[in-house]
A and B are shown apart, each in its own frame.
Chain A
Amino acid sequence: MKILTTVKKVVDVELTIRVESAAIVEEGLQYVMNAWDENAVEASVQLKENNGAETTLVSIGGDDDNTQIIRRGFAMGIDNGIQIDDPLLAGADSFVLARVLQKVYEKGSYDLVITGKQAQDTDNGQTGIILAENLEIPCVSNVVAIDVIDDELLKVTRLGDGGKEIVELKLPAVVTVSDSINEPRLPQMRGLMMAKKKKIEVMDLAALGTSFEEVGGSDNRSEILEFSRSQAREAGKKYEGDAAEITAQVVGLLVNEAKVL
């Protein structure tokens, strides 16, 4: 089985994000692999370890942070790495990215695409599903377990609105994973050392066999106009003291002041 895993670099969400002049302040920010994509990489590596799958990582973006997350994927156990480096793709929306990924998919021959269900910076959760639509292959999202039945069939567990769904998925297919699927391993020294030596296949759109127009790059369906800081919720009042007294007080307030009871 050949697996294509897509990963994205995102800003470390633990940091304080500052906004100035309607834009995000870049200074002091550091970038890491999207947490859900870490789950995707872990799932791919587990399929490699348990079922002998061959794994390939693809990331769109040419800077060093992107290179580092591909190396991190190597260190976790991924076999091959593809980096799409084309400055025209800066600011591309999910639809454009999905087209680019489609080209990557079509350039190789893959049976399964695994991606995290959403990215920590945009929280969009669209790219994987759009990719499946483009490729006209089935897609199951929010997956918490993947079992291989044979070369052509997977059994996946999805967390849906009604409960856990056990789905039989015909390959080739796209799976987007939830963070509940696994605990991503920390890359160990051995892996990191070997990762440094592995070759990454770097391609721009031309090398990928396509063009900016073909991937719809000039037709972003949406564009971000501005950023602003979220309003932090203000703290209310804290009550300390005799449990019976303060509880009575607060209940009274909930009824009379807040009018929610």
Chain B
Amino acid sequence: MAFLLFIALSVFCYSMVRKIQLLQALAPANRADHLKTRFKNMIILAVGQQRLIGRAKERSSGIMHAFIFWGFCILLIRSLMLYGEGFQKGFELPFFGEPDLLGYLYIALKDLVEGIVLVMVIWAIYRRAVVKPERLHNSFKAYLVLVLIGILMVSDLLYDGARFNLVQLPNLSSDIHIFNNPQYGPEFLWAPLSKAAAALISGFSAGTLSLLLVVMFWLHICTQMVFLNILPYGKHFHVITALPNVFFKSLGYPHEKAKLLDMEDEDAWENESLGLNHIHQLDWKQALDLFTCTECGRCKQVCPTYATDKPLNLYDFNLNLRQELTDNEAAIIQRAKLLSGAEQSGHDTDTLKEEVLALNSEKQLVGDVIAEDTLWACTTCRACEEVCPVTIEHVPRIIGMRQGQTLIAQSYPKELNPALKGLERNGNPWGIGYDKRDEWAKGLGVTKIADNPDVEYLLWVGCAGSFDDRAKKISVSLVKILQKAGVSFGILGVEEKCTGDFARRVGNEMLFQMLAQENVETLNGYNVKKIIAACPHCLNTLKHDYPQLGGNYQLIHHSEFIEQLIKEGKIKLNQSMKGTVTYHDPCYLGRYNDIYRQPRSVLQAVSIDEIKEMDRSGKESFCCGAGGGRMWMEESIGTKIYLERTREILDLQATTVAVSCPFCLTMIEDGIKEMEKVDTVRTRDIAELVAQYMV
């Protein structure tokens, strides 16, 4: 036993050490803060399997996995007992021994759990092989692991079964150790399933039973050791890495923020390390994410681009990256060794640089590992991240690769050029003269902050709200509401520039930083503290990206603000809107900023009828297709995302669909126009509805 254990553990340690070395060799990421919150997340999400059993869709399969996982955890104690048995006959764990009630309770629990796990495993195999859910990939390894778990359960039950049978036989009973406590009774009273197993094999001779005992014991041990050692290779690594992966997930913002690149750094240009160009540029958390992917396919399933036949298949995406990582494992570790040992080894800088360069992974991530179309199809909606049971952060990798493409490879969809040029020249993607930015406000008596810097709130209008004819109506409605409520607010007017959201999401750090710096200077110059925004993209960027450049403001979405105004009685609404009404959750408001309730509360305040929810709503809302810079690109592959969402709205037979984002407004209205349902359903921003029903 010792020998076996030694071999197994050595191999396992070696594998783990390699993996850990790999993580250490990659770029740093600071995830050591807020330990308490991290621990809590780990308990709820990983241990508690919240995203599996908490999700209404596919809850049954979630429960199935949860039981396998919990069973696994519970049976760890059993494993310890068995290993101990391998060394010393009659080995007992403290507190779980013969005299302890706990020991007996555990026996009962273990029995129950083994039965449940066995049933779940059989169901899982059935599900994979017969039901064949679309999102699952039936690889050899997937079946192998299920079978191994099955073997573990069966072998243990048969081991106990053999034990119980043998213990009945007079001349061998002293050799076989079972619990038998005068207070609690014999072991097999507490283990009905093992007893049933015993009954199953009771017909065999003593010799066979002894053999069976030994065989099942070692089968169990060996299977476990094999299992342990195949874990680091393949999707079942998640068994080990899932807990740490959830522990180290992003806090405060749903995923890692885009890196603020220093584009003046000459070395970075030479190394091609601006953005993610090669696999060795991932940080360790991103690599851990790749290790932890369980290949469940949920990300693929909820992805709007996958639903509309585009080449972005997150399952393949993750796996391709993981493969590339594995292929370059040795080189990455070696490279890190070289870099860290540079001083001691006495290499001169040039030779060192050359050696390091030689160890850089050759393949371009975009082009060789991931196709270009795949990269640009993403709308950064975060549906994938929201549904991932092990909290993998897909989107930052995509943004990182886009940064690399834009800066180093200088390759990006050229159809973005007019919008980028517009940002550069006139501070808005439409390229309309910056001097016309506040024309929408003519005659409304809106204060310019230049005239009165002491206003309490800054209303950030955004490019759409300033220049897009349809979205201007949102701005006008919002102004009406704020003025009615007597709110002290002002706008920047022509001093406002695009927040740079879409520039950042398409990887154009240059433009983003330029715009952000200018905006921060303007805002800080006026000592702005509180900002109300109608556009979730503006809100998100101002709130979460601008601190990187010295801009720290309190951001309030207009729906939050209006809800507050209603609560405070500063505006009164006539709750008289009739007809089926539904609400479309914008990705950047919901999944990025956790604002779901407020727009609904405001909407309900004007609607007589209750809000009818779409199937894909709230956290699982289906993207309108405009995020990630896609607003400025045509969808030339597959079907259209906005039509997909429009169909869902039309199926609901709503007469009003409410939104709280100008992009969503545009996309959905376009969809309704295209499907020629303009007369049946109207699209409105929350602000427009409130302004309409305000008394």
Q: Which residues of B have CB within 8 Å of A32? A: 425
Q: Which of the 9-residue segments A10-18, A105-113, A120-128 touches chain B?
A: A10-18
| B434 interface residue (CB < 8 Å to A) | yes
Contact A15 B434 (CB under 8 A): yes
| B426 interface residue (CB < 8 Å to A) | yes
The CA-CA distance from A28 to B519 in the complex, in Å, is 18
Contact B263 A14 (CB under 8 A): no
Q: Which residues of B have CB within 8 Å of A193? A: 263-264
Cβ-defined partner of B421 (8 Å) among A186, A189, A190: A186
Q: A186-B421, A188-B410 are in contact. Are A16 and B436 (CB under 8 A)?
A: yes
Q: A12-B425, A14-B426, A32-B425 are in contact. Are A189 and B433 (CB under 8 A)?
A: no
Closest to A191 in B: B410
| A192 interface residue (CB < 8 Å to B) | yes
| A63 interface residue (CB < 8 Å to B) | no
Q: Binary interface profile of B, 239-269, with partner A (CB < 8 Å = 1, else 0)?
A: 0000000000000000000000001100001
Cβ-defined partner of B269 (8 Å) among A16, A185, A186, A190: A190
| B633 interface residue (CB < 8 Å to A) | no
Q: Binary interface profile of B, 348-378, with partner A (CB < 8 Å = 1, else 0)?
A: 0000000000000000000000000000000
Main secondary structure of the interface of B (DSSP, over half): helix
Contact A28 B435 (CB under 8 A): yes
Contact B425 A189 (CB under 8 A): no
Contact A188 B406 (CB under 8 A): yes
| A234 interface residue (CB < 8 Å to B) | no
Q: How large is the interface on A (under 10, 10 to 19, 20 to 34, 35 or more residues)?
A: 10 to 19
Contact B433 A14 (CB under 8 A): yes
| A201 interface residue (CB < 8 Å to B) | no
Q: Binary interface profile of A, 173-207, with partner B (CB < 8 Å = 1, else 0)?
A: 00000000001011011101100000000000000
Chain B min CB distance to A103 (Å): 32
The CA-CA distance from A88 to B421 in the complex, in Å, is 33
Closest to B494 in A: A28
Contact A15 B435 (CB under 8 A): yes
The A1-20 residues at the B interface (CB cut-off 8 A) are 12, 14-16
Contact A188 B407 (CB under 8 A): yes
Q: A12-B433, A16-B435, A193-B264 are in contact. Are A186 and B425 (CB under 8 A)?
A: no
The CA-CA distance from A16 to B435 in the complex, in Å, is 7
Q: Which residues of B have CB within 8 Å of A30? A: 425, 434
| B414 interface residue (CB < 8 Å to A) | yes
Chain B min CB distance to A75 (Å): 11
Closest to A192 in B: B510
Q: Which residues of B have CB within 8 Å of A14? A: 425-426, 431-433
Contact B263 A189 (CB under 8 A): yes
Chain A min CB distance to B100 (Å): 68
Chain A min CB distance to B486 (Å): 33
| B392 interface residue (CB < 8 Å to A) | no
| B420 interface residue (CB < 8 Å to A) | yes
Q: Which residues of A have CB within 8 Å of B510? A: 188-189, 192
**How many A-B contacts are there with CB distance less than 8 Å?**
41
Q: Which residues of A have CB within 8 Å of B452? A: none
| B417 interface residue (CB < 8 Å to A) | yes
The CA-CA distance from A192 to B426 in the complex, in Å, is 19
The CA-CA distance from A32 to B424 in the complex, in Å, is 11
Cβ-defined partner of A190 (8 Å) among B407, B414, B432, B509: B407
Chain B min CB distance to A196 (Å): 10
Contact A12 B264 (CB under 8 A): no
The CA-CA distance from A189 to B432 in the complex, in Å, is 24
Q: Which residues of A have CB within 8 Å of B263? A: 189, 193
Q: Which residues of A have CB within 8 Å of B417? A: 183, 185-186
Closest to A18 in B: B435
The CA-CA distance from A16 to B509 in the complex, in Å, is 30
Chain A min CB distance to B183 (Å): 77
Contact A16 B407 (CB under 8 A): no
Give the residue among B269, B424, B426, B435 with the most A Cβ atoms within 10 A: B435
The CA-CA distance from A188 to B406 in the complex, in Å, is 8
The CA-CA distance from A32 to B421 in the complex, in Å, is 11
The CA-CA distance from A192 to B263 in the complex, in Å, is 11
Chain B min CB distance to A127 (Å): 24
The CA-CA distance from A185 to B420 in the complex, in Å, is 11
Q: A12-B433, A15-B435, A189-B407 are in contact. Are A183 and B425 (CB under 8 A)?
A: no
Chain B min CB distance to A172 (Å): 32
Chain A min CB distance to B287 (Å): 27
Chain A min CB distance to B213 (Å): 71
The B265-308 residues at the A interface (CB cut-off 8 A) are 269
The B421-476 residues at the A interface (CB cut-off 8 A) are 421, 424-426, 431-436
Closest to A196 in B: B264
Q: Which residues of A have CB within 8 Å of B408? A: 190
Q: Which residues of B have CB within 8 Å of A28? A: 435
The CA-CA distance from A189 to B264 in the complex, in Å, is 9
Q: Which residues of A have CB within 8 Å of B435? A: 15-16, 28
The CA-CA distance from A123 to B216 in the complex, in Å, is 92
Q: Which residues of B have CB within 8 Å of A15? A: 433-435
Chain A min CB distance to B55 (Å): 42
The CA-CA distance from A192 to B508 in the complex, in Å, is 13
Q: Which residues of B have CB within 8 Å of A192? A: 510
Q: Which residues of B have CB within 8 Å of A186? A: 417, 420-421, 424
Q: Which residues of A have CB within 8 Å of B269? A: 190
Chain A min CB distance to B277 (Å): 13
Q: Which residues of A have CB within 8 Å of B407? A: 188-190
Closest to B414 in A: A183
Q: Which residues of B have CB within 8 Å of A190? A: 269, 407-408, 410
Chain B min CB distance to A30 (Å): 8
The CA-CA distance from A30 to B433 in the complex, in Å, is 10
Chain A min CB distance to B402 (Å): 14
The CA-CA distance from A186 to B509 in the complex, in Å, is 14
Closest to B417 in A: A186
The CA-CA distance from A193 to B509 in the complex, in Å, is 14
The CA-CA distance from A74 to B566 in the complex, in Å, is 56
Give the residue among B263, B408, B414, B510 with the most A Cβ atoms within 10 A: B510
Closest to B431 in A: A14
The CA-CA distance from A185 to B416 in the complex, in Å, is 11
The CA-CA distance from A193 to B426 in the complex, in Å, is 21
Chain A min CB distance to B274 (Å): 8
The CA-CA distance from A185 to B432 in the complex, in Å, is 20
Closest to B432 in A: A14
Q: Which residues of B have CB within 8 Å of A12? A: 425-426, 433
Q: Which residues of A have CB within 8 Å of B426? A: 12, 14
Q: Which residues of A have CB within 8 Å of B436? A: 16
The CA-CA distance from A186 to B414 in the complex, in Å, is 9
The CA-CA distance from A157 to B408 in the complex, in Å, is 34
Chain B min CB distance to A179 (Å): 13
Q: Which residues of A have CB within 8 Å of B424? A: 186
Q: Which residues of A have CB within 8 Å of B264? A: 193
The A150-186 residues at the B interface (CB cut-off 8 A) are 183, 185-186
Closest to A38 in B: B421
Closest to A29 in B: B435
The CA-CA distance from A15 to B417 in the complex, in Å, is 20
Chain A min CB distance to B265 (Å): 10
Chain B min CB distance to A76 (Å): 12
Q: Binary interface profile of B, 511-545, with partner A (CB < 8 Å = 1, else 0)?
A: 00000000000000000000000000000000000
The CA-CA distance from A12 to B422 in the complex, in Å, is 11
Chain A residues within 8 Å of B, Cβ to Cβ: 12, 14-16, 28, 30, 32, 183, 185-186, 188-190, 192-193
- Name 15 extra pairs, CB < 8 A, besides A14-B426, A183-B417: A14-B425, A14-B431, A15-B433, A15-B435, A16-B435, A28-B435, A30-B425, A30-B434, A186-B417, A188-B510, A189-B406, A189-B407, A189-B509, A190-B269, A190-B407
10 A-B pairs in the complex with CB atoms less than 8 angstroms apart: A12-B425, A12-B433, A15-B433, A16-B433, A186-B424, A188-B406, A188-B410, A189-B406, A190-B408, A193-B264
Chain B residues within 8 Å of A, Cβ to Cβ: 263-264, 269, 406-408, 410, 414, 417, 420-421, 424-426, 431-436, 509-510
Q: Which 5 A/B pairs are nearest by Cβ-Cβ distance? A: A14-B433, A15-B433, A189-B510, A188-B410, A15-B435
